[in-house]
Structure 1
Amino acid sequence: MNEKNLDYLKEGLKYMGFGTNLNAELERQVQSQQPEFRLSLQLPHHNSTMDYTLHFRRSDQSDMYFFNKYEATLKPDDSARQVSQTFYINKNSGITAKEAYNLLNGRSVHKDLVNTESQPYKAWLQLDPQAQDQQGNHKVKQFHENYGFDLEKTLRQFAIKELEDPQQKERLLRSLERGNQQQVTAVQNGQETKRFIEASPQYKTINVFDEQLKPVKRETILRQEPQQAQRKETKQELLAEGQQELKPVRRKGLAI
């Protein structure tokens, strides 16, 4: 058995969010030297359950195995129907277990990608619930950087307390990029209110929810610009604007 390859696979499972519970079965399957095998895992996520089926295949040229893809199925606890998607893995990198959960819930995930010419780029990904291929996978919509959605710039429009601290702001940005619904503190008229937000790159904004995760108008947490007090214009300001004060002109009389 290739110990380095086994360690690499274990590292990949951990990095992809599948933990270490599959390690014993993974080792047993690698020892068996089957051409390919699958591992199954179920993880709870909030009020839902996710079923994962992980696919491994041995190389035709060596004894090395590769983690190629996994199927994720979201099973909501409510009456909503379950939804599934296949995600492909490349060198222990791809959509993580938590990101798959967020995508299947209709949210968007920001990822580093590579195009067909091996050029790196960044894009927001979102599953299209209305479009599926012959295998039942949803079409993946991509919103590239030139699409015009800037998450950090968008957040500046809103009165979110966490944006005032650099570390909290960075954690908030990273969480939203992973597709999470993140709790924030909205400040309005000096009052703090707990809200949940999520990125909505397709519409170049964010979605806002109350503490029960019910949608609320995003306008309710917009930043309120302080009203500038009206100032009386001074004589100097008038002159600066090119307005001249009229003064009486005294004319000298002509000698007769």
Structure 2
Amino acid sequence: MEILVDLHTHTVASGHAYSTISENAFAASRRGIKLLGMTDHGPKMPGSPFLYHFGNLTVLPQELYGVRILPGVEANIIGQEGELDVPNSYLARLKLVIVGLHDICYPGGTCEQNTQAYLKAMENPYTDMMVHPGRPEFELDLERIAYMSAKLNLPVEINNSSLTTIERGAWGNCRRIAHYMAQYKGPVILGSDAHFWDRVGEFSHALDLVHEAGISEHQVLNTSPDRVLNYLAARRKSRPIST
């Protein structure tokens, strides 16, 4: 399975990442990545940029080193109703909106409360994809998340960074969500979650898990830039009309 798209990467703007968008794009081009998401953390994450940063992303070139750039955000879930730290007026302008839980941004709760927060974020029409449900900080009902992914046709990520030695405790959770995704056949994305240029396009652990779980190549969106772009275009057409 060849992965040609990396939708989850960070730049120095995230505050705890260490490469520029130019460095990430150059690394992507060296790895054969054709489409690159620039998804710096939303403003609730300490060190992340002010909202104006996300409003000004239109200044970026559409392509660097032969790699198409999708300027976006990794929005943080900040409450148990699935509230995000980026207003819809900003989300509507972005090419890519990925959403996840982070312990420094979300107050935490029971498994049911955490799961409801995640599911409600999935139902947000401005959410394009959900990321790293396998991280160990929060207990989640991973089967319900996989079921809703299939029902909503909303991709859920297998996060390569969660499978590194740094977060080895996530292996069990990631293995469970991968098997549930194979069972319910919802759309999947693989993400590097790169915080330094040398991790861009690195999916080795995630691919191992995809093969182990029996996730089909058809489920994995980022085998094709066109599949990703077509999905995002359809997603935008389904949003409510702004007034």
Indicate the structure with greater helix content. 2
Relative contact order (C-alpha < 8 Å, sep 6+): which is higher? 2
TM-score, structure 2 normalization: 0.24
Indicate the structure with greater strand content. 1
User: Could you say which structure has the larger radius of gyration?
Assistant: 1
TM-score, structure 1 normalization: 0.23
